[in-house]
Amino acid sequence: MKKLHIYTAIAITAVLLSIQGCGGPGGYGGGGGSSGGQVASITITPATSTIAVNGTQQYMATAKDSNGNTLSGVTYTWASSSNSVATVNANGLATGVAAGTTMITASVTYSGGIYGMGTTITSNSATLTVTAAGMAMGMVATGRAVQGAMVSLEDAHGQIQVAMSDAHGRYVMPVVGLTPPFLFKATDNQGHTLFSSGTGEGVINIDPLTDLMTRIWYRSRGITAEAAFADIAAHPAPEEKTHTALNHALVNLLADSLTSQNLDATKFDFVSTPFIANGTGFDHILDNTSVSMSGGQMLLRDVLADTETEIAFSGNSVTFNTVNHMHTQPHLTRTLLLLP
């Protein structure tokens, strides 16, 4: 009997060792790596990207355990929130299906053993925008998605195209046969208006910062965006060179906030970088910025960086005076932008 007990204990120990040695999430082969621990977090990159219909985007996933150690040998379950926009295969390769925006995620599920039943660890949601030839699309947002906004595009010859933003703030409209540059106007059901501009098809977002860029351009010409929309032939939207200059100026003003949200300030474009109005990333910046206009001047407040920038005009010259309240003695910076 004593020998039987010994053999039984050995057998039980062997079974336990076998369970512990299997590891891995539900048969997906993950859980190994430098630390051999359980997956606690997953990060996928790139966080935002744009492809054409039938184009592809390769995503990379990095898994870490609770101690921050990177794990190798993890097998992920990839998913697209809208397969009608883009699909993603088991290797993280997404393929564009139709114009629109979808969210890509990677996850690991532990279905048994020492890790418990039905535990799923999901990555951040990466924004993938799929563009189709001859289409303009983007997000209408104010820090929240603007549902049911009337989006109007006016081309260089005064031709108008109209679309409606959906429940997620997204719009899509054809631009075939229209002549850029385009001026965009989005009006919600309460009469609030935001402007933006674009130099061709693709992603063209409409939000308070694209509105600021557009108003700076027209204010430097002594006219309002509203008046320009009423007579676009006399007051065309900014060309690509001007857009680049305006975008660069605002990116410099908000560089610290962009970096705090893991956005690359050197590549970020307020008009064409896709985003989702979900309170994270660039949308979090929108949640924490405000623009006020009075007496021919504009004031941009950035709560994340605790700065206020006064924007003043003299002819087609624009001056940015920024006060940084995070310093013991407020620091004043001054940038002069001469618009072409």
Tens of pLDDT, residues 243-272: 999 999 999 999 999 999 989 999 999 999
Buried b (16+ CB within 10 A) or exposed e, 67-97: eeeebeebbbbbbbeeeebbbbeeebebbbb
At 267-304, the pLDDT tens digits run: 999 999 999 898 989 999 999 999 998 877 899 999 99
100 neighbors 127 (Cβ within 8 angstroms): no
3-state SS record for 195-230:
EEEECCCEECCECHHHHHHHHHHHHCCCCCHHHHHH
Span 163-168, average pLDDT: 94
Nearest residue to 225 (alpha-carbon basis) of 333, 236, 24, 98: 236
Q: How would you class 185 by CB atoms within 10 Å of its CB: exposed for 0-12, middle for 13-18, buried for 19 or more?
A: buried
Cα Rg, the chain, nearest whole Å: 26
pLDDT given at position 249: 93
What is the rounded distance in angstroms from the CA atom of residue 134 to the CA atom of residue 151?
17
Q: What is the percent of the chain with per-residue pLDDT over 70, rounded to a whole number? A: 86
Is it the case that residue 22 has pLDDT exceeding 70?
no
Can you list the domains of the chain with their CATH numbers?
22-131 (2.60.40.1080), 135-338 (no CATH)
Q: What is the pLDDT of residue 37?
A: 77
pLDDT tens column, 203-225:
999 999 999 999 999 999 999 99
CB 247 within 8 A of CB 216: no
Q: Please name the residue that has the structure tokens 């109209």.
A: 162
Which residue is listed with tokens 């369970």? Answer: 19
Higher pLDDT, 312 or 14: 312
Distance of alpha carbon 111 from alpha carbon 24, whole angstroms: 10
Average model confidence (pLDDT) across the chain: 86
The DSSP 8-state label assigned to residue 62 in this structure reads: E
Greater confidence (9 vs 188) lies with 188
Q: Strand 86-88: give its sheet, edge to edge.
A: 56-58, 93-96, 86-88
CB 101 within 8 A of CB 73: no
Give one DSSP letter per residue of 170-193, joined into a string: EEEEE-TT--SSEEEEEE-TTS-E
Gap between the Cα atoms of 218 and 237, Å rounded: 8
Instruction: Decide: pTM greater than 0.85.
Output: no
Q: Retrieve residue 258's tokens.
A: 């962009």
How many CA atoms lie within 13 Å of 89's alpha carbon, on the beta-carbon side?
A: 7
Q: What is the pLDDT of residue 113?
A: 54
